[in-house]
Structure 1
Amino acid sequence: MVNGEICPSFRDACYTLGLLEDDKEYTEAIKEASQSGSGYYLRFLFATMLLSHSLSSPDVVWENTWEYLLDEILYNQQQILKSPSLSLNEDQIKNLTLFEIKQILLRNNSSLKKFTRMPLPVVDSVSSSNNRLISEELDYGIPNLKKEFDRLSIALTSEQQNIFDDIMTAINNNEGDVFFVYGYGGTGKTYLWKTLSAAIRCNAQIVLNVASSGIASLLLTGGRTAHSRFIIPLVLTEVSICSISPDSELASLLRKTSLIIWDEAPMIHKHAFEALDRTLKDIFKS
Structure 2
Amino acid sequence: MSEDILRKQRSTTGINDLELPEVDIHNYTLAEFERLPRPAFPTDNYRNADLNRLIIEETSYNVREMKEVHDANYQKLNSGQRCVYNSVIDSVLAKKGWIILCTRSGGCGKTFLWQTVIAYLRSERRIVIPVASSGIAATLLPGGRTAHSRFHIPIKLDQYSCAGIKHGTDLAELIKLTDLIIWDEAPMQHPLCF
* Shared fold per TM-score greater than 0.5: yes
Could you tell me how far apart the structure 2 residues matched to 1:208 and 1:258 are?
8
Could you tell me how far apart the structure 1 residues matched to 2:33 and 2:150 are?
49
1:8-27 Cα shifts (integer Å, max 9, x gaps): xxxxxxxxxxxxxxxxxxxx
Aligned residues: percent identity?
Answer: 39
Could you tell me how far apart the structure 1 residues matched to 2:31 and 2:167 are?
38
TM-score between the two structures when normalised by the length of structure 1:
0.55
Could you tell me how far apart the structure 2 residues matched to 1:169 and 1:134 are?
23
1:160-219 Cα shifts (integer Å, max 9, x gaps): 000000111110011101111011111000100100000110000111111101111111
Q: Report how far residue 129 of structure 1 moved.
A: 2.6
Aligned CA distance change for structure 1 residues 154 and 58 (closer, same or farther; 3 Å): same
Which aligned pairs between 1:114-263 and structure 2 lie closer than 5 A?
A: 118-119=38-39, 121=41, 124=44, 125-263=46-184
**Structure 1, unpaired ranges of 5+:** 1-47, 60-117, 274-286
Map of 2:187 onto structure 1: 266
TM-score between the two structures when normalised by the length of structure 2:
0.80
Could you tell me how far apart the structure 1 residues matched to 2:166 and 2:101 are?
28
Which fold has the larger relative contact order, with Cα–Cα distance below 8 Å and residues 6 or more apart in sequence? 2
Aligned CA distance change for structure 1 residues 123 and 201 (closer, same or farther; 3 Å): closer
Aligned CA distance change for structure 1 residues 53 and 148 (closer, same or farther; 3 Å): same
1:125-169 Cα shifts (integer Å, max 9, x gaps): 422231100001111100111111100001110100000001111
Which amino acid in 1 is paired with 2:36? Answer: P
- Cα RMSD after superposing both structures: 2.0
Confirm or deny: 8 A CA contact 1:206 1:256 kept in the other structure: yes
Q: Report how far residue 253 of structure 1 moved.
A: 0.4
Q: Report how far residue 241 of structure 1 moved.
A: 1.4
Aligned CA distance change for structure 1 residues 56 and 195 (closer, same or farther; 3 Å): closer
Which amino acid in 1 is paired with 2:98? Answer: D
Could you tell me how far apart the structure 2 residues matched to 1:185 and 1:251 are?
32
Which aligned pairs between 1:10-89 and structure 2 lie closer than 5 A?
A: 51=29, 53-54=31-32, 57-59=35-37
Confirm or deny: 8 A CA contact 1:211 1:226 kept in the other structure: yes
Confirm or deny: 8 A CA contact 1:143 1:202 kept in the other structure: yes
Which amino acid in 2 is paired with 1:257? Answer: T
Q: Which runs of 4+ in 1 moved over 2 A?
A: 50-57, 118-125
Aligned length: 167
